[in-house]
């Protein structure tokens, strides 16, 4: 344990400071493809009974019309967090008729690219902006790639937590906003150093349907006629099978300070890219992408964690970050656990809290240009493709270290953070979340990725058939516990209100769409 981690744990273990640490918040965004009873991608519109994808706070769509996204509020407790996610699933199933949610990060067998439906958000300017952005993604990356799903874990500390971690070497007169942002960015640096551990412990996508590749070249092995895999992979979702793109390849925003990170992304959303210029923005009178820049908008930058600030309606996320600082982090690398009905359980969410607390309290040196940052990225990619390989070594500060030895060291330190969280909340669940992770390090066959491959081998089922069977079981689970009474009435009221809000947006629509896009890109919307 580092001296800094030791001293910070002792500091936060004081009774008054425990109360501050207790006011952490977490939220979950879970993506899932809607599929029909045979496991084929649903070609139906987003169900009207779920409300309007544009304006509903809990139920929306991501890339495809069939890629539903379920969003919880923020919670202080894990029981209530997972409870809300379960309740949203129960309501969704009440409106899906014969369809169900595909409970795996890698897609079901997909139709040809041209037939994958892009999400529709209505005819308002803001709805069209969301739709056209997704058209651009189709041109840039292909539609199949956008059908990958995951769990996003949003995490924040109370604002009065950060002064407790003030450093003697801070610039004189540093504002509370700048300190908070700097500390979140330090958390992100450590997350990038150590997130390979999350991929080993929780990666659950070592295989995929051959349809996903849509004929593209690959280096995967064949498990059966319709299933491809890598024998020691943990998360093909997070591998370079994902968003390979020359324009983004050179974009590695620095996480040494918020201003540099924001500046690099501003540059990317403002700099044309020749291949995208060839596509253009309007074809035959129809918008095909928002612009021809490296990124259409900052959300197009794919990363395993993001600094976030709640933006006002129409406001660019980068402007919100630049003007008001980091409010929370969004962990984006977590696979859906196909064995869990909602894709994640309380043991995992408690471990994530302890892991993120460790990333916050441990010393977080700045990244040297092209040095530690690229080594961290290489370690991450090594683990997602070969994480369970016997004797695998990673690169720690330029030296080879066995994955198992490094993982055990990290778990010892994370366990100290879990112990503090248990004392804060008067429970044992955080420390209990460490034991299953130690077991996975000692026995790789216990990891979700190994369990998926073993299930495919022992069942003799294809990836498509096995995941369909699991998804059916989860569907039956939720349909056997339908929403009722006031809970059902509340969900239906939220759905009706979101539909009314979208209709009002469209009724009040004014101005040319091109002018709206220009104003959005110039950062003129959402300003007060």
Which residues pair with residue 68 across a beta bridge? 32, 61
Q: Residue 21 corresponds to which tokens in the numbers above?
A: 């640490």
Domain formed by 3-521, architecture: 2-Layer Sandwich (3.30)
278 class by beta-carbon count within 10 Å (0-12 exposed, 13-18 middle, 19+ buried) = exposed
pTM across the whole model: 0.96
Task: DSSP for 181-192, please give it.
Answer: HHHHHHHHHHHH
Q: Residue 528 corresponds to which tokens in the numbers above?
A: 């007060």
pLDDT, position 240: 82
DSSP state of 237: G
Residues 6 or more apart whose CB falls under 8 angstroms from that of 2 comprise 362, 363
Please tell me the chain's helix, strand, coil percentages from 3-state DSSP, rounded to the nearest 5: 50, 15, 35
pLDDT, position 245: 60
Identify whether the C-beta of residue 345 lies closer than 8 Å to the C-beta of residue 352: no
Q: Mind listing the pLDDT tens digit of every residue in the chain (528 residues)?
A: 579 999 999 999 999 999 999 999 999 999 999 999 999 999 999 999 999 999 999 999 999 999 999 999 999 999 999 999 999 999 999 999 899 999 999 999 899 999 999 999 999 999 999 999 999 999 999 999 999 999 999 999 999 999 999 988 788 788 999 999 999 999 999 999 999 999 999 999 999 999 898 888 889 999 999 999 999 999 999 998 755 566 676 676 768 899 989 988 999 999 999 999 999 999 999 999 999 999 999 999 989 999 999 988 778 889 999 999 999 999 999 999 999 999 999 999 999 999 999 999 999 999 886 555 789 999 999 999 999 999 999 999 999 999 999 999 999 999 999 999 999 999 999 999 999 999 999 999 999 999 999 999 999 999 999 999 999 999 999 999 999 999 999 999 999 999 999 999 999 988 899 999 998 888 754 443
pLDDT, position 527: 40
Which residues pair with residue 118 across a beta bridge? 64
The phi, psi pair for 221, rounded to 5°, reads -100, 160
User: From CA 483, how far away is CA 503, in angstroms rounded?
Assistant: 27
3-state secondary structure 324-366: HCCCEEEEEEECCCCCCCCCCCHHHHHHHHHHHHHHHHCCCCC
The phi, psi pair for 331, rounded to 5°, reads -80, 120
pLDDT, position 526: 43
């Amino acid at each position: 344990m580092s001296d800094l981690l030791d001293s910070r744990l002792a500091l936060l273990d004081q009774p008054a400071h425990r109360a501050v640490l207790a006011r952490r918040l977490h939220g979950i965004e879970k993506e899932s493809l809607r599929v029909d009873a045979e496991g084929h991608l649903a070609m139906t519109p987003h169900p009207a009974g779920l409300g309007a994808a544009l304006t509903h706070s809990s139920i929306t769509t991501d890339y495809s019309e069939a890629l539903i996204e379920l969003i919880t509020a923020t919670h202080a407790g894990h029981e209530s967090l997972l409870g809300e996610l379960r309740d949203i699933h129960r309501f969704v199933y009440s409106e899906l008729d014969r369809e169900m949610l595909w409970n795996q990060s890698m897609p079901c067998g997909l139709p040809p690219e041209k037939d994958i439906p892009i999400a529709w958000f209505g005819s308002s300017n803001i709805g069209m902006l969301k739709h056209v952005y997704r058209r651009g993604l189709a041109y840039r990356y292909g539609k199949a790639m956008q059908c990958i799903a995951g769990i996003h874990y949003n995490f924040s500390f109370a604002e009065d937590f950060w002064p407790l971690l003030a450093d003697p070497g801070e610039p004189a007169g540093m504002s509370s906003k700048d300190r908070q942002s700097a500390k979140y960015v330090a958390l992100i640096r450590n997350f990038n150093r150590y997130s390979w551990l999350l991929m080993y412990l929780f990666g659950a996508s070592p295989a995929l349907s051959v349809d996903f590749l849509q004929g593209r070249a690959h280096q995967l092995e064949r498990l059966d006629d319709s299933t491809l895999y890598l024998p020691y992979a943990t998360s093909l979702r997070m591998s370079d099978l994902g968003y390979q793109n020359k324009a983004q390849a050179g974009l590695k925003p620095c996480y040494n300070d918020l201003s540099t990170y924001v500046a690099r992304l501003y540059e990317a959303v403002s700099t044309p890219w020749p291949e995208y210029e060839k596509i253009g923005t309007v074809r035959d009178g129809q918008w095909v992408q928002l612009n021809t820049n490296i990124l259409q908008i900052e959300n197009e930058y794919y990363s395993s964690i993001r600094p976030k600030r709640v933006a006002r309606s129409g406001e660019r996320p980068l402007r919100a970050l630049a003007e008001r600082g980091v409010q929370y982090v969004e962990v984006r690398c977590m696979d859906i656990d196909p064995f869990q009905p909602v894709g994640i359980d309380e043991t995992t969410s408690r471990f994530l809290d302890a892991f993120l607390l460790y990333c916050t309290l441990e010393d977080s040196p700045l990244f040297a240009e092209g040095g530690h940052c690229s080594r961290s990225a290489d370690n991450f990619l090594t683990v997602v493709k070969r994480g369970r390989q016997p004797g695998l070594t990673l690169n720690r500060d330029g030296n080879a270290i066995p994955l198992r030895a490094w993982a055990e060291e990290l778990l010892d330190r994370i366990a100290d953070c879990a112990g503090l969280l248990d004392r804060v909340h008067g429970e044992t669940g955080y420390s209990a979340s460490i034991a299953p992770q130690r077991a996975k390090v000692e026995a790789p066959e216990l990891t979700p990725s190994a369990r998926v491959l073993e299930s495919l081998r022992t069942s003799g089922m294809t990836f498509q058939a096995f995941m369909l069977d699991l998804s059916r079981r989860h569907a039956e689970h939720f349909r056997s516990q339908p929403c009722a009474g006031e809970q059902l009435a509340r969900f239906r009221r939220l759905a009706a209100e979101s539909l009314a809000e979208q209709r009002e947006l469209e009724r009040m629509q004014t101005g040319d769409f091109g002018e709206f896009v220009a104003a959005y890109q110039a950062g003129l919307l959402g300003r007060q």
